[in-house]
Structure 1
Amino acid sequence: MNRGISLKVVITDLIVEPLDIEREVLGDIAEVIALDAMTESELVGRIEDADAVMVYHYFRFTRSTIERLENCKAIVRPGVGYDGIDIQAAGEHGIPVCNVPDYGTEEVADSAMAMALSLSRGTHFLNSRLRRGVGDWNVEQAVPIPRLRGRQFGIIGCGRIGTATALRAKAFGFDVAFYDPYVPDGIDKALGVRRERSLSGLLSSSHIVSLHCPLTDETRGLIAGAEIARMPQGSFLINTSRGGVVDSQAVVEALANGQLAGAGIDVLEQEPPQPNNPVVAAWRDPAHPAHDRLLLNPHTAYYCDEGCVEFRHKGALETRRALLGEPLRNQVNSLSPLESCNTVSEI
């Protein structure tokens, strides 16, 4: 089926010219336009006639925008998390929402392990302090540094990324356990890891906890001060999932009082953060007790050069399927009033 170029696909944010990847996939059936918007308000008057929309992550794509779409056949998120899109509103208006759930699986798992190892081996702490001339040129200021083999590596959310992280942690000799009430029985046996039936049980027994769950109503604020207090003193917390899953201010406080020995945060509740963000302030202040124990990245755990091509290509392919009326591979909403579909697993 070829309709010429009568259709219109709008990319709202992040991706700008040249649109070579998207046009290679869509150019024979649609005009592809990138708006390079930073706020939802910038979409007004520029998106209403789109036949399909590709949305990244600089702002929330809300009901008010969805209700202005006149003939939209799909909203595609060329990435894993879709919490920034009102999928219920889209479903109520008959618009499928799709994502690309697999493109960054290896990279996020690699990043989580990199943070966990750098922190738990004392590498980050010593590098941070010795670079600015604090302490003697030896390991003493970083101790205790217990052997990692045999210690529990706890994973929250055993979907694609959680599974990839579990396999990596297992290869390093960790005793790997996970908490995820939504994956079927037997995943633990297939992976050769243990399953914890309660979040508190996982937290209380893990030397390192790594989060790999989406942001939903169920997981928002999943790890806050009370949960961190259940972890063993001197343990480590890694978040490469979504900022809203973890209370990052509580993490900083736990680093300052010694409950946590280190934390790796790739995602914050607001991105980019405000200049007065207290977590960023602590990370930048050498005098703050959390400074040397906090690894902070600007939501980059997903990235590699090849992965960037992959999520753009796969997002464009899903958009093409929607425009041509073909079966969609990764639809995440229902085209009727949405029932609860909360999950802990990373999708």
Structure 2
Amino acid sequence: MAKVLVATDKPFAAVAVKGIREVVEGAGDELVLLEKYTEKQQLLDAVKDVEAMIVRSDIIDAEVFDAAKKLKIVVRAGAGYDNIDLAAATAHKVCVMNTPGQNSNAVAELVFGMLVYAVRNFYNGASGTELKGKKLGILAYGNVGRNVGRIAKGFGMDICAYDAHCHAQVIENDGIRAVASTADLFKECQIVSLHIPATAETKNSINFELMNSMPKGAIIVNTARKEVIDEAGLAKMFEERPDFKYMTDIKPAIDAELAAKYPERYFGTPKKMGAQTAEANINAGIAAARQIEDFLCTGNQKFRVN
């Protein structure tokens, strides 16, 4: 019998925990919960005798791996996994997985919630515009990007996309025009939705030059990672382009400054909200449990990221 720990300072919904428990206990394993913990020591104590762990945005670093002597697998319930030290995991021979696609629709719907808010002038009473007919650029055509494209069709938008790791024909097969580069995407599109991960290549890659190449009335929506934005360039964009709006689910370091200076052109959600739906919460948690049991039973490493 393996011991599976769910360690979440921001807990899963009760129905998600119920589903996780059914998967784990149905496989003959033991489920342990550590919810709403307030100190790292609580996490370090909890991992000492577990073979598997499910986390959300919790920081799983080298110290945690050092404490988890029996740990074999960690699954991040969600797509992003930059909260987990992959090098430390590999050094400790721990498999790290994510659950791609489980919260994609939730994130994509948030994109359009923020977009409608933006084009309607933050609901300030003044006449706004519509999304229909506007050109939307999707940067990275993964699970979230594809859902953004699907929803955008319903709004009647003119859609194009670029992904360095996705063949153009895949994009075209979905009825979306593929462009040749990130630069082309920004140059053509009045609205750009970001879905790139934070990597050595992408950090600070969305710079002033790119943003400033956008047409008049430019809007950028970032539900990906704050690190991909060059914040100095973002500040300069606000100063030099009074037509520019930035909507984000991940507040930049200069959030307070932007919110004070540009209250009708900048919006950041109070907390990261992309995956905060009941459906995404349930889907990701249960998927994580199933991946753990499959790994423990068969060694399946399909979603391994380290």
| TM-score over 0.5 for the pair | yes
Cα distance in 2 for residues equivalent to 1:113 and 1:95 = 38
User: How far does residue 42 in structure 1 lie from its aligned partner after superposition?
Assistant: 4.5
1:280 aligned residue: 256
Find the aligned partners of 2:177 and 2:296 in 1 and give their Cα distance: 44
In the TM superposition, 1:81-92 aligns within 5 A as 81-92=80-91
Identical pairs, percent: 23
Secondary structure in 2 aligned to 1:32? strand
Summarize the alignment of residues 1-347 of structure 1 with structure 2, pairs less than 5 Å apart: 3=1, 7-13=2-8, 14-15=10-11, 19-27=17-25, 28-38=28-38, 40=40, 42-58=42-58, 60-120=59-119, 122-124=120-122, 127-128=123-124, 130=125, 138-139=126-127, 145=129, 148-248=131-231, 250-258=233-241, 260-268=243-251, 278-283=254-259, 285=260, 288=261, 290-297=262-269, 298-333=271-306
Question: Which protein has the bigger helix share?
Answer: 2
Say if 1:17 and 1:255 are closer, same or farther in 2 by CA, change over 3 A. Answer: closer
Tell me, yes or no, if the aligned pair for 2:134 and 2:157 is still in contact at 8 Å. yes
1:192 & 1:38 partners in 2: Cα distance? 47
1:232-257 superposed Cα distances (whole Å, 9 cap, x missing partner): 24200000112212245643542343
Q: Distance in 1 between matches of 2:199 and 2:42?
A: 26
Aligned to 1:336: none
Q: 1:32 offset after TM fit, Å?
A: 1.4
Q: Please, what TM-score do these two structures have when normalized by structure 2?
A: 0.87
> Aligned-pair distance for 1:79?
0.9
Q: Tell me the SS of whatever aligns to 2:171.
A: helix
Deviation at 1:33, TM superposition (A): 2.6
Distance 1:168 1:17 in 2: 26
In 2, Cα distance between equivalents of 1:328 and 1:167: 30
The answer as to whether partners of 2:52 and 2:73 remain within 8 angstroms in 1 is yes
Conserved? CA contact 1:210–1:239, under 8 Å: yes
Q: Is the 8 A contact 1:23 1:32 kept in 2?
A: no
* Maintained 8 Å contact 1:266/1:300: yes
- Aligned AA (2:286): H
Per the TM alignment, residue 161 of structure 1 is displaced from its structure 2 partner at its CA by: 0.9
SS at match of 1:44: helix
After superposition, what is the alpha-carbon deviation per residue over 1:283-326, rounded to whole angstroms, capped at 9, x for unaligned? 2x3xx2x1112222121122221221111111112222233344
User: Which amino acid in structure 1 is aligned with residue 57 of structure 2?
Assistant: H
SS in 2 for 1:210: strand
Matches of 1:17 and 1:254, distance apart in 2: 39
User: CA separation of 1:45/1:291 partners in 2, compared to 1, >3 Å: closer, same or farther?
Assistant: same
Q: Is the 8 A contact 1:51 1:323 kept in 2?
A: no
Q: Is the contact made by 2:20 and 2:289 (CA closer than 8 Å) also made in structure 1? A: yes
1:37-75 C-alpha deviation (Å, 9 max, x unpaired): 3565553333132211222114x3223322332121201
Distance (whole Å) between structure 1 residues aligned to residue 200 and residue 93 of structure 2: 23
Q: Describe the SS at the equivalent of 1:264.
A: strand
Indicate the RMSD between aligned Cα atoms, in angstroms: 2.5
Say if 1:229 and 1:39 are closer, same or farther in 2 by CA, change over 3 A: farther
- Across the two proteins, how many residue pairs are aligned to each other? 300
Gaps of 5+ in 2: none
* Bigger Rg over Cα: 1
Deviation at 1:101, TM superposition (A): 0.8
Query: Residue 244 of structure 2: SS of its match in structure 1?
Result: strand
Instruction: Give SS of 2:105's match.
Output: helix
Q: Is the 8 A contact 2:76 2:97 kept in 1?
A: yes
The two structures have a TM-score, normalised by structure 1, of 0.78
In the alignment, residue 43 of structure 1 is paired with which amino acid?
L
84 and 108 in structure 1: CA distance in 2 versus 1, 3 angstrom threshold:
same
